[in-house]
Chain A
Amino acid sequence: SQKIEQNSEALNIQEGKTATLTCNYTNYSPAYLQWYRQDPGRGPVFLLLIRENEKEKRKERLKVTFDTTLKQSLFHITASQPADSATYLCALPAGGYNKLIFGAGTRLAVHP
Chain B
Amino acid sequence: NAGVMQNPRHLVRRRGQEARLRCSPMKGHSHVYWYRQLPEEGLKFMVYLQKENIIDESGMPKERFSAEFPKEGPSILRIQQVVRGDSAAYFCASSPTLDGGRDSYEQYFGPGTRLTVT
A residues with a Cβ closer than 8 A to B are 32, 34, 36, 41-46, 49, 89, 93-95, 97-105
A98 in complex: contacting residue of B4, B41, B43, B95, CB < 8 Å = B95
B residues with a Cβ closer than 8 A to A are 4, 31, 33, 35, 41-45, 48, 55-56, 58-59, 91, 93, 95, 103, 105-112
Shortest B96–chain A CB gap in Å is 11
Beyond A97-B48, A101-B45, A105-B42, is A49–B105 a contact (Cβ under 8 Å)? yes
B56 in complex: contacting residue of A46, A89, A99, CB < 8 Å = A99
Does the CB pair A43–B111 fall under 8 Å? yes
Shortest A77–chain B CB gap in Å is 19
Does the CB pair B91–A44 fall under 8 Å? yes
Beyond A97-B48, A97-B55, is A45–B105 a contact (Cβ under 8 Å)? no
CB neighbours (8 Å) of A45 from chain B are: 109
CB neighbours (8 Å) of B55 from chain A are: 97
Which residue in chain B gives the minimum CB-CB distance to A95?
B56
Does the CB pair A46–B106 fall under 8 Å? yes
Which residue in chain A gives the minimum CB-CB distance to B92?
A43
Does the CB pair A103–B42 fall under 8 Å? yes
Cα–Cα, bound, A36→B43 (Å)? 11
Does the CB pair B48–A98 fall under 8 Å? yes
Does the CB pair A46–B107 fall under 8 Å? yes
A46 in complex: contacting residue of B33, B41, B45, B108, CB < 8 Å = B108
Does the CB pair B106–A42 fall under 8 Å? no
CB neighbours (8 Å) of B42 from chain A are: 89, 102-105
CB neighbours (8 Å) of B108 from chain A are: 46
Shortest B15–chain A CB gap in Å is 25
B103 in complex: contacting residue of A34, A98, A101, A102, CB < 8 Å = A98
Does the CB pair A102–B43 fall under 8 Å? yes
Q: Across chains A and B, which 9 residue pairs bring their CB atoms closest together, nearest first?
A: A43-B109, A104-B42, A102-B43, A46-B106, A102-B42, A44-B109, A43-B91, A99-B45, A43-B112
Does the CB pair B105–A44 fall under 8 Å? no
Given contacts A42-B112, A95-B58, 12 further A-B contacts (CB under 8 A): A41-B112, A44-B109, A49-B106, A93-B105, A98-B48, A98-B103, A98-B107, A100-B33, A100-B107, A101-B45, A102-B43, A104-B41
